[in-house]
């Protein structure tokens, strides 16, 4: 067995000589136990950061250490692309055809090339397909997609369930869990709530804290009910009504109810329960590498999920006995935004709790980012190991130095800042500086070849392909459905007879689609359907648009009908086809009293007009540079393409202006250089002629002295004098050449400087007009009041199917 296969030793790569830019022979083995003091991996795009973190997770799995990996980008799914036999056919389904085309290969040829590349890469680092097979045998690998169905779904609504006694009995821990749970929930519905000043946050925190202190579980439905009728009379020294009037509480309840009623949120209540123990180990006790993919979620949903997951990890952690060994890993890729230095998002408190307390329970936290300036380095002073790759800016390096100094000081270890800065300046791709407080000095190493095929982020379809077999094999017991609220909450009491509606009220029926729980009971629920025409126009633009809209507002109780349009949904495709009669054998939900009064519909019509003006602007895109406004039907992608074209046109125009400004100067200098070179040629020609004349004169003098005349004669003296004058003129000609050359060199230097100045300004111009820096914002255009007309508001019965458990689903 290879030296690096020791238990508890992670084979991350080999030592690296920065000065000679070569990989050394000695393997770099990292002590797994050191991860109990956590790790941070920092590196810019292209540094090899993701590859290093994937190899770290591979080593953990090989060592039997379970891990939960939060994946915001979709890269970590590559861990499931391990092919022990390294056959081209194994790689083929996962290759990018465009990459093969760029390389001039067919997909099959590219697959053979990739398989050969991986085989050679593994062999170079002393590995083979056998090690890939051991990885797959050592741990179960799975991709979870909360709020989505591509991977294994996770239900997270149990996050309001009462925490275990270990948390409930710790006042500080209970307070932290309550705070982050409420913050995450409010962030999900778009409420930016301060825990101290926000009455929404205070009310929800009090409700949840009271329920948990009593050992009661909550869900969204029961929380909505308690918001409307709190089980207490006072908050602080004020009565509940003064602190948070019932009308405002109802709006908060409706906001949460819209979330619960949204079909898009239904996915959050499906799948396996969010149970950290089940994420870390299979039912058979096999360690699991659970990849929680959140790339498909919106930013608020990501924040909610991460907050809930971190709280669940803390709750699980506190049920474990203390240990000095590594029990499990929590890894998060691209932690940017979840642990900032100044802001306090919901995820920050549980993250800080884990960094401070997880060590005692053997839980290692590994965080990765390419944005070091956006991390809370005071919190990261709890991290004992820093993996530092190539950094982008001096600011990044300065913040990293700050974090390293804090971590070393917290561990009582020394830190050589100057040496570290020198090393960081010379790092290349896949080369990292590891500063481990458990070691005497920092080391530089080159990461090993990954066992997994690193093909880049996985698409939803690719995740679905990887997890299809797993989901089909799932037992019914694993598909846990969350506890349903009381039937009266889920499906209001239905009447077998159709309610009597006054003749002045127009009553219509939405046809049943026949797609939702066809075996369930058909129950009609009342709603108000409003039709309106809107006119959007804006001065100094070409926007002049008329739109017809249809809004459907559920009517659930007398209190709910006071502001029906706040929770209304816009029907895609405009007005639907409506029927005059219900389906046979259908039941009817209770019709609120207000919905039986004709005056209500007139009032709702006026309210709809106000609501549409305030809440239904036409949203277009606006760019300041280049100045442009999108067309109403234009998508972001189309508008971005339009801006790119405008920027290219602007760039070309500015470049042409720059060239026109510099062209005369460059031409004049070039002409002077040409004339200077011509002068050098003339001077050289004159020099050659004078040189020849001087040689002839000197030769004649010598011949006369030897053969024709006496040395002292006057003739010889004259020839000698002439030769001397010729030599003097030759010297002057040589000097003229030197001066002419100097003039040319000066002119050439001036020309080069002018060309460099031109190129510099050209480069600056290109940077200023770079297409990648496009910025635009949303421009809401309100409908013109004078043209806004509400055509009608009618009572519409919407079909729902209710199953035996009382769960209702829309059938329209």
pLDDT in tens, 686-725: 767 766 666 666 566 655 655 654 444 555 555 555 555 6
Is 641 a residue whose pLDDT tops 60?
no
Is 547 a residue whose pLDDT tops 60?
yes
Structure tokens at 3: 């030296």
Same domain, yes or no: 679 and 791: no
Is 790 a residue whose pLDDT tops 70?
yes
Looking at residue 407, what is its pLDDT?
A: 66
Instruction: Please answer whether residues 179 and 191 qualify as being in contact, where contact means their C-beta atoms are separated by less than 8 angstroms.
Output: no
SS3 422: helix
Which has more pLDDT, 207 or 494?
207
Which has more pLDDT, 549 or 585?
549
Of these ranges, 322-326, 483-487, 778-782, the one predicted with the greatest mean pLDDT is: 778-782
Residue whose tokens read 């969204």: 220
Same domain, yes or no: 611 and 663: no
Q: Is residue 436 part of a domain?
A: no
Q: Is residue 641 part of a domain?
A: yes
- Is the whole model's pTM more than 0.85, yes or no? no
Q: Is residue 106 part of a domain?
A: no
Same domain, yes or no: 685 and 753: yes
Residue 801 phi, psi dihedral angles, 5° rounding? -110, 130
Residue whose tokens read 């629920």: 525
Instruction: Please answer whether residues 9 and 409 qualify as being in contact, where contact means their C-beta atoms are separated by less than 8 angstroms.
Output: no
Instruction: Please answer whether residues 311 and 89 qualify as being in contact, where contact means their C-beta atoms are separated by less than 8 angstroms.
Output: no
Closest CA to 501 of 566, 580, 569: 580
Closest CA to 221 of 562, 563, 483: 483
In sequence order, the 6+-apart residues with CB closer than 8 A to the CB of 31 are 8, 9, 10, 438
CA pair distance 367, 70, nearest whole angstrom: 10
Is 801 a residue whose pLDDT tops 80?
yes
Same domain, yes or no: 519 and 608: yes
Residue whose tokens read 């997994």: 452
Same domain, yes or no: 594 and 668: no
Is 327 a residue whose pLDDT tops 90?
no
Is 38 a residue whose pLDDT tops 90?
yes
Residue 477 phi, psi dihedral angles, 5° rounding? -65, -25
Residue 476 — pLDDT band, cuts 50, 70, 90? very low
Looking at residue 489, what is its pLDDT?
A: 37
Looking at residue 571, what is its pLDDT?
A: 81
The mean of the pLDDT values for the chain is 81
Same domain, yes or no: 610 and 642: no
CA pair distance 204, 178, nearest whole angstrom: 9
Q: Is the Cα dihedral 513, 516, 522, 526 positive or negative?
A: negative
CB 760: neighbour CB atoms within 10 A? Answer: 10
Is 586 a residue whose pLDDT tops 70?
yes
In the chain, % of residues over pLDDT 70: 83
Structure tokens at 332: 């998060």
The domain total for the chain is 2
Q: Domain limits at 759? A: 637-770
Dump the DSSP string for 64-89: T--EEEEESSS-GGGGG---TT--HH
Q: Is residue 575 part of a domain?
A: yes
CA pair distance 702, 734, nearest whole angstrom: 24
Of these ranges, 118-132, 216-230, 526-540, the one predicted with the greatest mean pLDDT is: 118-132
CA distances from residue 578 to 467, 506, 509 in whole angstroms, order as listed = 41, 12, 5
Q: Is residue 199 part of a domain?
A: no
Same domain, yes or no: 727 and 790: no
Q: What is the mean pLDDT of residues 458-463?
A: 93
Same domain, yes or no: 595 and 644: no
In sequence order, the 6+-apart residues with CB closer than 8 A to the CB of 182 are 193, 195, 201, 204, 205, 208
Same domain, yes or no: 800 and 759: no
Residue 300 — pLDDT band, cuts 50, 70, 90? confident
Is 99 a residue whose pLDDT tops 50?
yes
pLDDT digits (tens, 9 = 90+) for 335-380: 988 998 888 888 898 899 999 999 998 899 999 998 887 788 777 7
Residue 466 — pLDDT band, cuts 50, 70, 90? very high
Q: What is the mean pLDDT of residues 93-114?
A: 92
Instruction: Please answer whether residues 622 and 778 qualify as being in contact, where contact means their C-beta atoms are separated by less than 8 angstroms.
Output: yes
Closest CA to 596 of 526, 530, 650: 526
Q: What is the mean pLDDT of residues 609-622?
A: 88
Is 483 a residue whose pLDDT tops 50?
no
Instruction: Please answer whether residues 424 and 387 qualify as being in contact, where contact means their C-beta atoms are separated by less than 8 angstroms.
Output: no
Same domain, yes or no: 533 and 603: yes
Which has more pLDDT, 270 or 327?
327
Looking at residue 650, what is its pLDDT?
A: 72
Same domain, yes or no: 511 and 569: yes
Residue 213 phi, psi dihedral angles, 5° rounding? -65, -30
Which has more pLDDT, 399 or 59?
59
Q: Is residue 21 part of a domain?
A: no
Residue 768 — pLDDT band, cuts 50, 70, 90? low
Is 151 a residue whose pLDDT tops 60?
yes
Residue 87 — pLDDT band, cuts 50, 70, 90? very high
Same domain, yes or no: 647 and 759: yes
Instruction: Please answer whether residues 307 and 180 qualify as being in contact, where contact means their C-beta atoms are separated by less than 8 angstroms.
Output: yes
Is 477 a residue whose pLDDT tops 50?
no
SS3 387: strand
Closest CA to 1 of 128, 112, 164: 128
Residue whose tokens read 């939803």: 460
Looking at residue 484, what is its pLDDT?
A: 33
Count CA atoms closer than 13 A to 362's CA, side-chain side.
Answer: 15
Looking at residue 754, what is its pLDDT?
A: 78
Q: Is residue 629 part of a domain?
A: no
Looking at residue 152, what is its pLDDT?
A: 92
Is the bond preceding 655 in cis, omega lying within 30 degrees of 0? no
SS3 395: helix
Q: Is residue 524 part of a domain?
A: yes
CA pair distance 302, 611, nearest whole angstrom: 30
Is 235 a residue whose pLDDT tops 50?
yes
């Amino acid at each position: 067995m290879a030296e690096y296969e020791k238990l508890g030793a992670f084979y991350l790569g080999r030592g690296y000589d920065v000065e000679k830019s070569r990989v050394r022979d000695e393997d770099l083995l990292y002590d797994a136990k050191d991860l109990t003091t956590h790790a941070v991996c920092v590196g810019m795009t292209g540094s090899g950061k993701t590859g290093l973190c994937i190899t770290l997770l591979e080593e953990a799995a090989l060592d039997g250490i379970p891990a939960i990996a939060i994946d915001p980008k979709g890269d970590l799914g590559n861990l499931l692309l391990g092919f022990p036999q390294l056959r081209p056919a194994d790689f083929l389904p996962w290759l990018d055809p465009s990459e093969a085309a760029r390389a001039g290969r067919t997909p099959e040829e590219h697959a053979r090339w990739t398989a050969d590349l991986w085989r050679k890469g593994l062999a170079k680092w002393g590995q083979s397909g056998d090690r890939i097979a051991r990885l797959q045998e050592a741990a179960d690998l799975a991709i979870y997609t909360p709020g989505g169905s591509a991977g294994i779904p996770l239900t997270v609504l149990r996050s309001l369930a009462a925490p275990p006694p270990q948390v409930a009995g710790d006042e500080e821990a209970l307070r932290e869990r309550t705070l982050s749970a409420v913050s995450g929930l409010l962030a999900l519905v778009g409420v930016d709530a301060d825990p101290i000043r926000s009455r929404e946050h205070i009310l929800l925190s009090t409700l949840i804290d009271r329920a948990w202190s009593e050992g009661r579980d909550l869900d969204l439905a029961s929380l909505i009910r308690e918001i409307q009728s709190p089980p207490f009379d006072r908050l602080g020294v004020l009565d509940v009504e003064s602190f948070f009037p019932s009308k405002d509480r109802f709006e908060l309840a409706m906001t949460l109810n819209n979330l619960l009623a949204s079909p898009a949120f239904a996915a959050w209540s499906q799948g396996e329960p969010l149970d950290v123990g089940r994420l870390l180990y299979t039912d058979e006790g096999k360690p699991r590498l659970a990849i929680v993919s959140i790339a498909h979620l919106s930013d608020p949903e990501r924040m909610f999920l991460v907050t809930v997951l971190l709280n669940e990890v803390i709750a699980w952690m506190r049920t474990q006995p203390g240990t000095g060994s590594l029990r499990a890993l929590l890894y998060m890729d691209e932690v940017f935004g979840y642990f900032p230095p100044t802001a306090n998002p919901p995820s920050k408190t549980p993250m800080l709790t884990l960094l401070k307390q997880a060590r005692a329970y053997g839980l290692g936290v590994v965080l990765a980012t390419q944005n070091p300036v956006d991390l809370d380095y005071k919190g990261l002073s709890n991290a004992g190991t820093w993996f530092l790759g190539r950094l982008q800016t001096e600011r990044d390096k300065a913040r990293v130095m700050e974090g390293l100094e804090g971590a070393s000081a917290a561990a009582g270890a020394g830190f050589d800042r100057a040496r570290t800065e020198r090393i960081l300046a010379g790092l290349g791709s896949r080369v990292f500086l590891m500063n481990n407080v458990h070691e005497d000095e920092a080391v530089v190493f080159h990461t090993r070849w990954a066992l997994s095929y690193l093909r880049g982020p996985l698409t939803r379809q690719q995740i679905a392909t990887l997890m299809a077999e797993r989901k089909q094999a799932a037992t019914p017991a694993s598909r846990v459905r969350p506890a349903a609220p009381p039937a009266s909450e889920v499906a209001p009491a239905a009447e077998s007879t159709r309610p009597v509606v006054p003749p002045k009220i127009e009553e219509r029926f939405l046809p049943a689609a026949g797609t939702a729980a066809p075996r369930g009971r058909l129950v009609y629920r009342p709603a108000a359907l409003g039709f309106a025409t809107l006119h959007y126009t804006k001065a100094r633009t070409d926007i002049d648009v008329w739109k017809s809209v249809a809004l459907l507002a559920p009517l659930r109780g007398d209190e709910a009908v006071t502001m029906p349009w706040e929770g209304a949904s816009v029907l895609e495709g405009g007005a639907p086809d409506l029927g005059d009669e219900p389906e046979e054998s259908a039941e009817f939900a209770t019709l609120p009293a207000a919905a039986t009064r004709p005056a209500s519909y007139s009032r709702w019509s006026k309210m709809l007009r106000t609501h549409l003006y305030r809440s239904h602007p036409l949203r277009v895109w606006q760019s300041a540079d280049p100045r442009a406004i999108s067309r109403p039907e234009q998508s972001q992608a189309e508008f971005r393409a339009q801006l790119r074209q405008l920027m290219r046109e602007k760039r070309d125009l500015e470049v042409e202006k720059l060239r026109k400004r510099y062209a005369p100067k460059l031409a004049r200098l070039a002409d002077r250089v040409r004339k200077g070179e011509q002068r050098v040629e003339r001077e050289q020609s004159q020099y050659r002629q004078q040189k020849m004349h001087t040689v002839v004169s000197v030769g004649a003098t010598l011949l006369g002295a030897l053969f024709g005349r006496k040395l002292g004669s006057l003739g010889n003296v004259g020839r000698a004098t002439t030769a001397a004058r010729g030599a003097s003129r030759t010297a002057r000609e040589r000097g003229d050449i030197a001066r002419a050359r100097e003039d040319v060199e000066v002119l050439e230097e001036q020309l080069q400087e002018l060309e460099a100045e031109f190129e510099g300004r050209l480069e600056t111009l290109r940077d200023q007009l770079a297409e990648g820096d496009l910025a635009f914002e949303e421009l809401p255009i309100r409908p013109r009041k004078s043209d806004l007309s509400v055509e009608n508001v009618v009572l519409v019965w919407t079909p729902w199917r209710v199953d035996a458990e009382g769960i209702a689903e829309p059938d329209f």
